Structure 1
Amino acid sequence: MPKRRKAMVCRTDLLAALALTLLLAGCTAGTDASVPLSPSVPTRAAPAEPAPEATAAPPLTVPAEPTQLPSASATDSAPTPLPAPDALVTLRENGVFLGDGWGSEAVQVLALESAAGIAFRSPRLAYIANQAIFVADPLGAPAHPVADAPPSFLLGPDLVWTADGKALLTIADREDANAQQTGSSIDIGLVAVPGGGWRPGLALADRAGASILRAESASGQVLLVAWGSEPSFQQVLRYDLATGQAAGSLPIAGQGEIIASPDGKLALTSLYNEAKGANEDVLYDLTDAAATVRQRLPLRADTHTAGRLWSPNGDRIAYLLREGRTPGEEQTQGLGLYLWDLKQAKATKIADVTDPAGGPVAWTPDGRYLVFRQSDAAGANAFYALDTTDNTLRRLPLDPASRILGWLPQAQ
């Protein structure tokens, strides 16, 4: 169920070079049939219930051949420096590290103890430790507690920054004897930053999990999806954070993960199309009361997308195509790294990522490079940066156990 959202320098040896060579060679060999789309109505996860009507979606095609990566790109040298002097922020075990834009010469700047609910929004990092919520600036300000963490039952608490960066939302479940379907309910609270202090926000009765799409501010509205006993949903809920009262809903059907675009205007989720016997990814318009479907991405039978990641300006979506009808099935193989270009309404295979646990990790702030993960020839995880302007590829000097949190702007 989607609800949750780890730097040492890697040595580059013969195995790494071999892995890159195989990665690039494989990309030039795969094929995907072009799929023209016709207008349709989104299929709900629960076939017995009618799906919300949608207007015709623009056609989207998958080209016959992936973009070919030049063999000259098989190198372990550092990518071109980022145009701004940004510092890459990574997490490994309980330490936060800062390096250059690609993670080189990283040094530990924070020790998080046994942290949970880590949420990074440049330039601040929030996390939960010792039953308290902490906020820190990896470039300077030390970690300091801003509020006590709310109690939780099985999941969370999780933290989500508001869009204005002035507050944190806390999401935690609690055991609820009155919740007949799930046995739990979800509480969402708020913490002002830097002022501190936690206050209750709203309660979602008889729900096993919730995902925040967007919250503009602590006094504004929040868009969210709440799950019951099944990882499917038929609507996106809108609540007023100031009063905790429901403020409406959008007729959006989906299953599993749903993620909003950076500007909060679109939402991406998946549906199983019973008529075609295959999954499809669907883009809904969050600014329209009818939640119009803007585009659909049809998939081959018994495949699904994973690791879906919006570009910073919201015009592209990166994803890993993976075998299996659902993410819950045993993963056997990745079928390639793709870019879905929303302006051109087409998806293009850009690298032959076969590791089912690999896929997109992060976009650089300028939207030029896509960082993704793939196992090397020795079976160890490795990070690569793909330049989406010329498709050159580089391996990054990051420890395989690292988690990329984001980038911090540094003073010129």
Structure 2
Amino acid sequence: MMRTRPLKVALLGCGVVGSEVARIMTTHADDLAARIGAPVELAGVAVRRTGKVREGIDPALVTTDATALVKRGDIDVVVEVIGGIEPARTLITAAFEHGASVVSANKALLAQDGAALHAAAGEHGRDLYYEAAVAGAIPLIRPLRESLAGDKVNRVLGIVNGTTNFILDKMDSTGAGYQEALDEATALGYAEADPTADVEGFDAAAKAAILAGIAFHTRVRLDDVYREGMTEVTAADFRSAKEMGCTIKLLAICERSKDGTSVTARVHPAMIPLSHPLASVRGAYNAVFVESDAAGQLMFYGPGAGGSPTASAVLGDLVAVCRNRLNGTTGPGESAYADLTVSPMGEVVTRYHISLDVADKPGVLAQVATVFAEHGVSIDTVRQQGKDGEASLVVVTHRASDASLSGTVEALRKLDTVRGVASIMRVEGE
């Protein structure tokens, strides 16, 4: 039988996502109650400023005192969609201390302080769920944390930022330059007025830290993630990629070492073959490719941002947390038992595409090849074009460590015949 006393929900933030959460809670109230086993009631909404008309929300529920709201003591679940580190961290901690479980979409906070938040939740016997923090509507955290709990995940490779994927897809499909594609993304509302968090990889790096921690049962913080933005990707890079049968994506890559003793997490632009499933992810969509021992290769695809998609993930967590609340139990907490070493970027092994501006004269190719050999980087293919004393040299390597490649590039820059290193890009997904 359904319990008649409602579970009370406090909503922190009522922007694009928060307003959708409130709307769905209202319009789907009967369905949510049937799925949970009790009605859910929006008991308060914390915002920065009152006075704004918020359709479907009783003005009496709106407050600017988020602290008082989470400390009320009768709140069952706090939904945090305000983002940022503070005051979100303090509010979530206070929610646990005063008996509430928490559903969050705060990737930055979870990537930085996830371990401490999990510890606080565990200390007070409460849930911390955050499906919406990584890939919007795409079910990803729960499959990694629950469905694949009996498997060994070896690699997570994904497009986890819709803004950057839109920009790179536009550059690929139209031949546009970076700024032109960014301007279109901004005009269409895919990019913020300040797109730094997206295009410089900060957003994706936070998500990579969360994914790596869950996939490998090891604490991975934001500072552990190598990050490289995509602002230097050019139309020329896309032309080179097409000649190789590839395209370019900003990827979050989390890997377990072959001997199983360490992991790496990184975010950077990379060339991937057109035959790879991630190559066909267009527009502002996200997709994550998971490789594990038993399940093999799995791909999760869908809208990775936006009010409704993100609210869908939040409501899914809300249902799960409310069910746990009714049953007097909690769901999976942090799993960090493996405690694997997080290796630096220099130990990552992959292939590379290097474009050099060189003098167009005899012996240049031999000099360049010698530098690669001296640093233990094996060359796969070389393509050279020259005119009027200037030439471009494109080298694609076999697999080598990032440290070896960095040493190679440093030595190449010292050659008199090398005018400049125009582009360095990793080649993934092969």
> TM-score higher than 0.5 here?
no
TM-score bucket of the superposed structures, by smaller chain: under 0.3
Relative to the length of structure 2, the TM-score reads 0.26
Larger radius of gyration: 2
Normalized per residue, which structure has more helix?
A: 2
Normalized per residue, which structure has more strand?
A: 1
